[in-house]
């Protein structure tokens, strides 16, 4: 979706939570829908939240996982205040961890962007809003990721001795396959939502943009716990986050 990307959408959502990222293995499949809440901080101000639900589903006669996300943020930049809403959904193959179908919709002020992605035989067919269908060839081993479950990372770093992982991922925001490198940092015991998590910590580098971020991922479940990028923090939190947000100032970045 190469068009009209604002600074707020590109940075705060960082494709959100780029993340963009991967869902996974059989152990991550819920018997019932599982719900997750994340807080979004800009310059230490809680200014947004994401609500994510993971459930079992059926797609074209096969068992899959369905990931649905609603994100809301309040921002000010260059003297203007605006709200951002993002809705995403993924249909994910639980065996490969790749999405089979994805659609997203972004509303920011008067701007509205949407698109859908269908995977067929090693090709992603992208249909952007009001544009012709695009065809994206996928090199072998390309990850098609989502925003909550990161099995590609827990699998890549299952061996404690491994310190680096290089891979290709489809960056849906830019509609292209990009090169990434992950460097393992020291594992952490992370305290979030009155619970201690055994977290894999990695630094991600996107070689197309040079953008770096740090991710904390729960090792047993491959669930995203926390992200730090350009003084933005995104972290697993309680449902009450939806009532606690304030306006974040992007001009202070």
Q: What is the pLDDT of residues 196-219, one digit of tens each?
A: 999 999 999 999 999 999 999 999
d(CA 252, CA 34): 36
Residue 216 lies in a domain: yes
pLDDT band at 103 (very low <50, low <70, confident <90, very high): very high
Q: State mean pLDDT over 70-82.
A: 90
pLDDT band at 253 (very low <50, low <70, confident <90, very high): low
Distance in angstroms between the alpha carbons of the first and the last residue of the chain: 25
pLDDT band at 25 (very low <50, low <70, confident <90, very high): very low
Residue 92 lies in a domain: yes
Q: Does 3 score more than 50 pLDDT? A: no
Q: What is the pTM of this model?
A: 0.84
pLDDT band at 251 (very low <50, low <70, confident <90, very high): confident
Q: Mean pLDDT over all residues of the chain?
A: 87
112-140 pLDDT, tens digit per residue, is 999 999 999 999 999 988 888 999 999 99
pLDDT at residue 97, as a whole number: 77
The domain in which residue 182 lies consists of: 7-252
Count how many domains the chain has.
1
Residue 43 lies in a domain: yes
Residues in CB range of 195: below 8 A, 6 or more apart = none
pLDDT band at 167 (very low <50, low <70, confident <90, very high): very high
Q: State mean pLDDT over 156-168.
A: 97
Residue 1 lies in a domain: no
């Amino acid at each position: 979706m190469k068009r009209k990307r604002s600074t707020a959408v590109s940075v705060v959502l960082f494709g959100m939570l780029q993340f963009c990222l991967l869902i996974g293995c059989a152990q991550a499949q819920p018997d019932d829908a599982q719900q997750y809440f994340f807080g979004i901080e800009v310059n230490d101000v809680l200014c947004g939240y994401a609500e994510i639900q993971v459930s079992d589903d059926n797609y074209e006669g096969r068992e899959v996982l369905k990931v649905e996300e609603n994100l809301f943020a309040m921002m000010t930049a260059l003297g203007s205040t605006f709200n951002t809403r993002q809705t995403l959904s993924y249909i994910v193959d639980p065996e490969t961890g790749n999405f089979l179908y994805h659609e997203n919709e972004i509303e920011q002020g008067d701007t509205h962007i949407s698109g859908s992605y269908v995977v067929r035989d090693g090709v992603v067919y992208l249909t952007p809003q009001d544009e012709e269908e695009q065809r994206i060839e996928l090199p072998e081993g390309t990850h098609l990721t989502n925003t909550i479950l990161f099995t590609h990372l827990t699998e890549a770093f299952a061996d404690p001795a491994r310190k680096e992982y290089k891979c290709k991922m489809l960056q849906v925001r830019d509609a292209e396959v990009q090169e990434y490198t992950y460097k393992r940092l020291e594992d952490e015991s992370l305290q979030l939502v009155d619970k201690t998590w055994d977290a894999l910590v990695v630094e991600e580098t996107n070689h197309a943009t040079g953008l770096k971020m740090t991710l904390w991922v729960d090792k047993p479940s491959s669930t995203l716990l926390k992200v730090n990028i350009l003084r933005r923090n995104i972290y697993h939190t309680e449902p009450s986050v939806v009532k606690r947000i304030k306006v974040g100032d992007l001009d202070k970045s």
